[in-house]
Structure 1
């Protein structure tokens, strides 16, 4: 008898990347000689890797939080570091910042969630914010969101809300990248003879061991999986 193939109308799953904690202790430095800080737990080398993957030479990288490591990595890779007008005074690392405020001009927009001015648990509100960020992207550009923690919110764990809001804003879900905040053990703990140590707790909750990065494309994604 003929068999009918089941119809699956779900969107295709985005590929998953993984950022491990670097095994070395070397840290890039600013022009002043000071070491660059992590980007909310993400090593500066990984920040540069992400920018290199999601942009091309000469692109503008618009960082909504004006983080010095984003600016330094963008300059190092011959990209133009940009911040919103409201963050310009808070960005001394940008010698001559290019403000991407004229529509389709940025190859990459970088944002952390949650934000003080956006309720990231409210899909329509978050979608409106993402739509405003999308307006800064050139065709083929990307939005990279880092899910972290903020005042009064606790750790963000609702990736599905962010993904749904981005899709409602017209973006294509491109990639999920967990970034580890601690090195992996050298051996699988369950294979040892000794009792496995309990994970560290903070206020009775497990300390977060990773952050989630979600990448969204403004048009059909190019081959830039991290």
Structure 2
């Protein structure tokens, strides 16, 4: 499960914790294709993430202004925000009065982003690093970025999208906090391939010679510096 408690930086050889999102029990017999889903993540699990990575009154921003994110944030007593750009100027606005935003100057506590972006299927390190630099500046110290990588079959001979995003985030000064695989289909209660007596006689579950993609990845990064640039209210 996601971790939000403060801790000392990990030694270089230690990996960030992995949290696993199983399919909710009430959805095991229903399709997981949900029009309200954020990059495939259903509203219940999305709300769970927002609740665990933020506190009451925090600002939550989604780059796509997805209505489910805004609804979940308001339900949890957070402030959903919209990010707009005008040339080189970036504006973050939320549902608080302008004076309240100006007095708080607290930055974004949680920024949600799906990669690759809808207008650019390129996940090159340079372009992703530039985006991460921008997101880092929008965060308050200790804020989080959650990046969704929708399920897609791996491409032979190419660096994984997860590795690219992690490298870009580190270059941008964000610390890799957690990897959260999110199951998109229910797992069988019993798999004959795990039984030594039947494993050799059970055909592999492959599609066109590849294993089926049963999960998407959510990567959590955190801002640890205190010299982030203030955004315009």
TM-score by length of 2: 0.70
TM-score by length of 1: 0.72
What is the distance in 1 between the residues matched to 2:106 and 2:125?
24
Q: Give the direction of change, closer, same or farther, for the CA distance of 1:205–1:136 in structure 2 (3 Å limit).
A: same
Stretches of structure 2 lacking an aligned partner (at least 5 in a row): 1-10, 29-33, 86-93, 226-233
Q: Give the direction of change, closer, same or farther, for the CA distance of 1:75–1:161 in structure 2 (3 Å limit).
A: same
The reply on whether 1:165 has 2:168 as its aligned counterpart is: yes
What is the distance in 2 between the residues matched to 1:181 and 1:149?
9
Q: Which residue, out of 132, 140, 143, partners 2:142?
A: 140
Matches within 5 A, 1:64-83: 64-83=63-82
Q: Which residue, out of 179, 199, 206, partners 2:205?
A: 199
Number of the residue aligned with 1:179: 182
Number of the residue aligned with 2:215: 210
Number of the residue aligned with 1:52: 51
The alignment covers a number of residue pairs equal to 193
1:200 deviation in Å? 6.0
Q: Give the direction of change, closer, same or farther, for the CA distance of 1:180–1:157 in structure 2 (3 Å limit).
A: farther
1:158 deviation in Å? 2.3
Q: Give the direction of change, closer, same or farther, for the CA distance of 1:197–1:44 in structure 2 (3 Å limit).
A: farther
Deviations 1:135-158 (A, max 9, x none): 1111110000001269xx9xx942
| Conserved? CA contact 2:151–2:217, under 8 Å | no
Deviations 1:28-63 (A, max 9, x none): xxxxxxx87222221211111110111111001010
SS at 1:126 equivalent: helix
Q: Which has the higher contact order (CA 8 A, sep 6+)?
A: 2
Deviations 1:192-212 (A, max 9, x none): 8596465363x7754421001
| Conserved? CA contact 1:84–1:99, under 8 Å | no
SS at 1:216 equivalent: strand
Q: Which residue, out of 114, 117, 129, partners 1:127?
A: 129
